[in-house]
Amino acid sequence: MKKILSAIIIIATGLLTLAGYLFREALSPVLALFTDWAILLIGIAGILGIGYLLRMHILRVAKKQKGNFYSIFLIIVFLLTVISGITLSPQSEYFKDMILNVQIPVEASLLGVVAITLLYTSLRVVRIQGWTPLSIGFLSSALIMLILNSGLIGFKPDSLAGRIAGFIQRMPVVGARGILIGMALGGLIVGLRVLLLLDRPLGED
Amino acid sequence: MPVLICPVCGAENPISGEKCLKCDATLDGVTPLDAPVEGLSGDESLGSPTKDEQDLPGLLQSLKDEGDIGEVEESLQNGLASNDDLSDIFAEKEASDEEVVPDWLERIRQRAKEEPDAIGDVTQKISAALETIADDKDENKHDDFQSWIENIRKPGSAHSEDQPANELKKENLPSRLSDEDWLMRIRKAEGKLPEGPDPTEQKGNSLLQWLIALEEGRETPSKLGDETSAADEEGDEFSSPITSGDYQVVNEQTQKIATPFKDVLDIDRLMVDISDEEQEQVNLFETVVTQENQAGQQHRPLRKIKHWIWRLVISLILISGLTASLLVWDNADISGAFLSPQNAAFLSWSEARQPGGSLLFIVDFQPGYFSEIMQISKPILGMMLEKDMEISLLSTTPSGELLFENLLAESTGEELAFTDLGYLPMSSLAAYGIANHVENELLQTPESPIVLPAEGYDGILLLSDQAEDVQIWVEQLTALMPETQVLLLLTSQAGPLSLPYWESGQVDGMISGVVEAAAFESAVSGQTVSPVGMRAYQLGSGLMVLMLLLGLTLKNRPDKDDIGEGAQ
């Protein structure tokens, strides 16, 4: 019974949202209500996630597990941010500077580390697997895309070289489209299996 | 009685034999020796495993029926009762055997001469019977060992202070194990046994002494490498009485490897009865562990230093190169840069805007991409602000408002006012909401009711770093608001996958990446020098290409660590 109720709610919400594309004026209030509920639920999920993360780090500190220093640091910074955000408000210049001057450099540094790690990992692919068609294709495409996107070589768009460069730059699109077509076909097959009752995602009841 | 002892397996063979009865090895050139113990071959006297213990009852019964076992049992029982040490049994038995050979033994020998295959089976069964009887004696051995430990632990014990450990060992251990065995005699006969006392005895380096010294703090566990080098210098050979030729081969391979377990192995060999196969496995394990440790100690520091130097060099090249490009060489000529069709369309759209119009900016990128987005959006923001356009903001990242404020400040050098429509989590939700005139009631305040207007803007400009988010925005907006112009300002990673939306006409203009932004800025302002950071970006890309090529050409063979980690 529980599963049937869940299925009814899910199907009704999906149908209403789909109908909102067709009867926008009539269903706009309902869609606004759904949107607000979704925002509310996302906010609650965020609070739960923060609480879970905080609990995990507090337990790590309490049990004196390995790396508890980082947990202590995280808890202190978290409390500092929360307290300053509540007391100063997000519109405070000090609070804005504190957030951006930490968040932007830290995230940018992480992206730099990711770039170097990807470079090293791609080298290890060749070291471990040797020269295979996959590794050759992967590394040659990485090299070509790096050179083309670096701007070191300029091509006139209407020239032959420019067209070749444009063709190469469309190759990721080809792969992505292939993946999307595969996903669409997979979704179609799954939908057909559900419609024909070959699969029952919500159980037998 | 002289016998020929096989140099391969150690089995006794008749003096007239040309090949070993047990392993079929040739006996040419083997010096005849006196049999150490009558009725017990060398390996049996050292306690080789009883392979046919299941057949013992039958054998014992048959021997009893013939009346022979009675004599053996009687003599052994008497020996056990009169003497605690097992060695006395063998000594007594050896002495008596030299004088009078029992009938049953005579029959066995006769049978062995007639049937070569019978000798091993029969003698093994007899030795098994002897070992079964001698099991009780093993317990006494253990008791003796415990008493040694207790005596050692007692402060002021006579054993621990007055009596050397080697004496203790010799006194308490079974004499059959401390006696010279057949292999030692072979070595003596062949002149392979080193003259003089055992080097381990010279050093007094028995396990017992070592343990005592360790407990009293007089000695510390030595490092493997030091001991190895010391052993090499002294020519210390790990020579031990062995019972198999195969073991000798293994031993020759490992003899130069001195290990901290050396004395442990010595004492274990004396105290524990192990088979040849087990001995080989021990040696193999010891060799593997020792070589692994030696290899690790020899190569790991060198490899670590090598890796550390490589990392340091690469880091220095990267940091110094990028810093220099920012400070010194940041003047790339971009006069020859070409505008892509999507960039040209963006430029046309920008120039067509009338003063006083309105724009909606959607911030959908992470703070890590702030620098790139700033370079891309800077010329556009400058143009729009020159035309005094009204700007609204909707963000799908929590820090979107702060990022856009900084973006405006960095682009124009002053703080500008804009209408903040709030924060909507998730791109799909925000796109759906804005396209359906959803009022963002959660963000409304009494002072400023925020409603998402979908119409009335000259264009919607999306600032994004993910092609997936671009897909959501473009597909939702163009499906629900086909009359609204959508333009994209993207990072270089989101550009290629978003290009089809430009080609399909769903998007009215697009700029992605620093290179396109530089070309756009050059076209807008007419300047021929690249914007700040352009050289650094190009140099970084070039360094990445260079490192890829170097990494592929310098070392393309997998090393052990790579394979191990890859397998995991």
CATH number of the domain that B481 lies in? 3.40.50.720
Distance CA B3, CA B15 (A): 5
Enumerate the residues of chain B whose CB falls inside 8 A of the CB of residue A31. 432, 436, 438
Number of Cβ within a 10 Å radius of residue B336: 10
Distance CA B178, CA B163 (A): 18
Query: Residues B440, B421: contact at Cβ < 8 Å?
Result: yes
The residues near B18 (Cβ < 8 Å, ≥ 6 apart) are B26, B27, B28
Structure confidence at residue B322 (pLDDT): 81
The answer to whether residue B214 is domain-embedded is: no
How does DSSP assign B306-362, residue by residue?
Answer: HHHHHHHHHHHHHHHHHHHHHHTS---B-TTPPPPHHHHHHHHHHHHPPTT-EEEEE
The answer to whether residue B316 is domain-embedded is: no
Put simply, the answer to whether A32 touches B439 (Cβ < 8 Å) is: yes
Last residue in a domain, options B85, B111, B139: B139
Share of chain B above pLDDT 90, in %: 3
Higher pLDDT, A202 or B522: B522
Higher pLDDT, A120 or B450: A120
**Is the confidence at residue B390, as pLDDT, over 60?**
yes
The answer to whether residue B284 is domain-embedded is: no
Put simply, the answer to whether A119 touches B514 (Cβ < 8 Å) is: no
Give residue B138's identity as a one-letter amino acid code: D
Distance CA B159, CA B149 (A): 10
Structure confidence at residue B447 (pLDDT): 47
Number of Cβ within a 10 Å radius of residue B219: 14
The residue count of chain B comes to 568
Last residue in a domain, options B84, B110, B139: B139
How does DSSP assign chain A, residue by residue?
Answer: -HHHHHHHHHHHHHHHHHHHHHSHHHHHHHHHHHHHHHHHHHHHHHHHHHHHHHHHHHHHHHTT-TTHHHHHHHHHHHHHHHHHHHHH-TT-HHHHHHHHHHHHHHHHHHHHHHHHHHHHHHHHHHHHH-S-HHHHHHHHHHHHHHHHHHTSS---TTSHHHHHHHHHHTHHHHHHHHHHHHHHHHHHHHHHHHHTTS--TT---
Tell me the mean pLDDT in the region B493-513.
88
Q: In degrees to the nearest 10, what's the CA dihedral of B453, B454, B456, B459?
A: 120
Q: How confident is the model at residue B31 (pLDDT cuts 50, 70, 90)?
A: confident
Best mean pLDDT range from A68-77, B65-74, B334-343, B392-401: A68-77
pLDDT, mean over chain B: 67
The answer to whether residue B16 is domain-embedded is: yes
The answer to whether residue B24 is domain-embedded is: yes
Structure confidence at residue B272 (pLDDT): 65
Enumerate the residues of chain B whose CB falls inside 8 A of the CB of residue A177. 500
Number of Cβ within a 10 Å radius of residue A62: 10
Beta bridge partner(s), residue B30: none
**Is the confidence at residue B501, as pLDDT, over 60?**
yes
Tell me the mean pLDDT in the region B252-260.
45
pLDDT digits (tens, 9 = 90+) for B134-173: 665 555 555 555 556 665 555 444 444 444 444 444 444 4
Q: Quick one: tokens of A15?
A: 């149908």
Residues 148-177, chain A, touching B (beta carbon < 8 A): 149-152, 154-157, 162, 169-170, 172-173, 176-177
Enumerate the residues of chain B whose CB falls inside 8 A of the CB of residue A123. 548, 551-552
Put simply, the answer to whether A103 touches B369 (Cβ < 8 Å) is: no
Q: What pairing do the DSSP bridges indicate for beta strands B486-490 and B459-464?
A: parallel
Distance CA B83, CA B37 (A): 18
Tell me the mean pLDDT in the region B3-25.
80
The residues near B134 (Cβ < 8 Å, ≥ 6 apart) are B76, B80, B86, B89
Put simply, the answer to whether A119 touches B548 (Cβ < 8 Å) is: yes
What angle is formed at CA B455 by the lines to CA B454 and CA B457, rounded to 5 degrees? 105
The residues near B98 (Cβ < 8 Å, ≥ 6 apart) are B38
**Domain tally for chain B?**
2
The answer to whether residue B364 is domain-embedded is: yes
Q: How confident is the model at residue B462 (pLDDT cuts 50, 70, 90)?
A: very high
Residue B368 contacts A where some CB pair is shorter than 8 Å: yes
pLDDT digits (tens, 9 = 90+) for B289-301: 777 676 666 666 7
Q: Quick one: tokens of B184?
A: 């030692």
Structure confidence at residue A72 (pLDDT): 92
Put simply, the answer to whether A139 touches B337 (Cβ < 8 Å) is: no
Q: What domain range is B399 assigned to? A: 341-532
Tokens 């005094």 belong to residue? B388
Helix (H, G, I), strand (E, B) or coil at B107: helix
Structure confidence at residue A75 (pLDDT): 92
Q: How confident is the model at residue B493 (pLDDT cuts 50, 70, 90)?
A: confident
Instruction: Give this complex's ipTM.
Output: 0.75
Best mean pLDDT range from A103-112, B266-275, B311-320: A103-112
> Cα B2 from chain centroid?
55
Residue B552 contacts A where some CB pair is shorter than 8 Å: yes
In B433-485, beta strands by DSSP E: 459-464
Residue A130 contacts B where some CB pair is shorter than 8 Å: yes
Tokens 């080609």 belong to residue? B503
Q: In degrees to the nearest 10, what's the CA dihedral of B289, B294, B299, B302?
A: 140
Compute the Cα dihedral for B397, B402, B407, B408 and give only its sign: positive
What backbone phi and psi angles, to 5 degrees, belong to B276? -60, -40
H helical segments located in B353-415? 370-386, 400-412
Put simply, the answer to whether B548 touches A122 (Cβ < 8 Å) is: yes
Structure confidence at residue B445 (pLDDT): 45
Tell me the mean pLDDT in the region B496-501.
86
Best mean pLDDT range from B228-232, B252-256, B391-395: B391-395
Residue B317 contacts A where some CB pair is shorter than 8 Å: no
Question: B58: burial class by Cβ within 10 Å (0-12, 13-18, 19+)?
Answer: exposed
Structure confidence at residue A2 (pLDDT): 74
Which of A28, A39, A110, A180 would you mutate first to test chain B, the one with the most B CBs within 10 A? A39
Distance CA B266, CA B259 (A): 12
Which of B544, B559, B568 would you mutate first to test chain A, the one with the most A CBs within 10 A? B544
pLDDT digits (tens, 9 = 90+) for B396-434: 888 888 888 888 888 777 777 788 877 777 777 777 766
Residue B399 contacts A where some CB pair is shorter than 8 Å: yes
Q: Quick one: tokens of B450?
A: 């925020």
- Interface A-B, measured as beta-carbon pairs within 8 A, has a size of 148
Enumerate the residues of chain B whose CB falls inside 8 A of the CB of residue A43. 425
Tell me the angle at which helices B68-82 and B103-114 cross, rounded to the nearest 10 degrees. Answer: 120
User: Which residue of chain A comes nearest to B468, CA vs CA?
Assistant: A176
Residue B564 contacts A where some CB pair is shorter than 8 Å: no
Q: Count the alpha carbons within 13 Å of B465 in the hemisphere toward its beta carbon.
A: 17
Structure confidence at residue A51 (pLDDT): 92
Residue B479 contacts A where some CB pair is shorter than 8 Å: yes
Structure confidence at residue B489 (pLDDT): 93
Q: Quick one: tokens of B130?
A: 């002897």
**Is the confidence at residue B564, as pLDDT, over 90?**
no
Residue A97 contacts B where some CB pair is shorter than 8 Å: no
Which of A107, A151, A156 is the closest to B366 by Cβ?
A107
Among B547, B528, B526, B530, which Cα is nearest to B538's? B530
The answer to whether residue B199 is domain-embedded is: no
Tell me the mean pLDDT in the region B354-361.
85
Put simply, the answer to whether B370 touches A108 (Cβ < 8 Å) is: yes
The residues near B399 (Cβ < 8 Å, ≥ 6 apart) are A99, A100, A103, B367
Enumerate the residues of chain B whose CB falls inside 8 A of the CB of residue A128. 558, 562-563, 566
Enumerate the residues of chain B whose CB falls inside 8 A of the CB of residue A38. 426, 429
Put simply, the answer to whether A157 touches B338 (Cβ < 8 Å) is: yes
Tell me the mean pLDDT in the region B322-350.
78
Tens-digit pLDDT string for chain A (205 aa): 777 888 888 888 888 888 877 787 777 778 778 877 887 888 899 899 999 999 999 999 998 888 888 999 999 989 988 888 888 877 788 888 887 888 888 998 999 889 888 888 888 777 777 778 888 888 888 888 888 888 777 777 778 888 888 888 778 888 888 888 999 899 899 888 888 877 777 665 5
Which of A31, A100, A173 is the closest to B499 by Cβ?
A173
The answer to whether residue B563 is domain-embedded is: no
A138-141 contacts at long range (C-beta below 8 A, 24 or more positions apart)? A139/B548, A139/B552, A141/A171
Distance CA B58, CA B60 (A): 5
Structure confidence at residue B150 (pLDDT): 61
Structure confidence at residue B246 (pLDDT): 43
The residue count of chain A comes to 205
What angle is formed at CA B62 by the lines to CA B57 and CA B64, rounded to 5 degrees? 95
Distance CA B106, CA B66 (A): 14
Smallest CA–CA separation between A205 and chain B, in Å? 32
Distance CA B298, CA B309 (A): 18
